[in-house]
């Protein structure tokens, strides 16, 4: 069964880009080199600050007997095409705002386009992603991505410059805002 699904997915991709074009684009991609594109989509167009991908909804993505695709696969595909639009070796998503306008079902083909905003020398970038199935807008997002000089696991935290105040066990826990977390990540990169 899996071989049949892979063949059908390949045949559907051929309607959008040839295998040679897909291979050429893959050789240009710096981001996500080990990603399983059968569940995140295939990049079929790559330009400066732009990427386009195709996600073929397969059996592996379905959550019920009616063929509903789990929305996390749509978000993963949007994340991948956003990272491809920036196309940096080391980058990480730090935030997103997304809207799912309609469900995806098995056999649907989701076309995603990503446009990276801001100057490409900026460490923090916003990427607009829009997804369509049969010319119906299914998904829209703004994804914030930070580019780093090295792998995120190799970055070091900056040293604390002030003593940590004594914690009051009766005080409510504070949760850092996404903006504060993003600022701390950018600060840890030294810029």
* For the chain, domain boundaries: 1-147, 155-189
What whole-number distance in Å separates Cα of residue 45 and Cα of residue 33? 16
Cα 120 to the center of its chain, rounded Å: 17
DSSP state of 18: -
What confidence score (pLDDT) does residue 3 get?
A: 35
What confidence score (pLDDT) does residue 1 get?
A: 31
Distances 72 to 28, 107, 162 between C-alpha atoms, Å: 26, 17, 40
Helix (H, G, I), strand (E, B), or coil: what is residue 170?
coil
What confidence score (pLDDT) does residue 21 get?
A: 79
Task: Report if pTM > 0.85.
Answer: no
Q: Give the phi and the psi of residue 142 in degrees, each rounded to 5.
A: -120, 120
Query: Would you write out the chain's pLDDT as a tens digit for each of its 191 residues?
Result: 333 345 455 557 677 777 787 777 777 777 776 777 788 888 999 999 999 999 999 999 999 999 999 999 999 999 999 999 998 888 888 999 999 999 999 999 999 999 999 777 778 889 999 999 999 999 999 999 988 776 767 677 766 666 556 666 666 655 667 677 677 667 766 65
CATH architecture observed for domain 1-147: Roll (3.10)
Helix crossing, 2-14 with 19-28: angle to 10°?
90
What confidence score (pLDDT) does residue 24 get?
A: 77
What confidence score (pLDDT) does residue 38 get?
A: 83
């Amino acid at each position: 069964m899996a071989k049949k699904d892979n063949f059908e997915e390949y045949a559907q991709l051929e309607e959008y880009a040839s295998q040679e074009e897909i291979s050429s684009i893959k050789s240009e991609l710096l981001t996500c080199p080990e990603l399983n594109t059968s569940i995140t989509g295939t990049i079929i167009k790559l330009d400066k600050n732009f990427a386009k991908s195709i996600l073929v909804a397969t059996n592996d993505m379905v959550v019920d007997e009616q063929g509903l695709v789990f929305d996390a696969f749509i978000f993963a595909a949007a994340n991948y095409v956003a990272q491809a639009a920036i196309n940096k070796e080391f980058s990480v998503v730090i935030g997103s705002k997304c809207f799912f306008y309609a469900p995806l079902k098995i056999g649907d083909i989701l076309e995603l386009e990503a446009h990276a905003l801001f100057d490409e020398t900026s460490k923090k970038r916003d990427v607009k992603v829009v997804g369509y199935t049969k010319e119906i807008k299914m998904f829209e997002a703004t994804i914030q991505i930070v580019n780093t000089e090295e792998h995120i696991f190799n970055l070091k935290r900056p040293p604390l410059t002030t003593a940590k105040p004594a914690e009051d066990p009766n005080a409510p826990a504070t949760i850092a805002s996404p903006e504060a977390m993003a600022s701390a990540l950018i600060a840890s990169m030294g810029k």
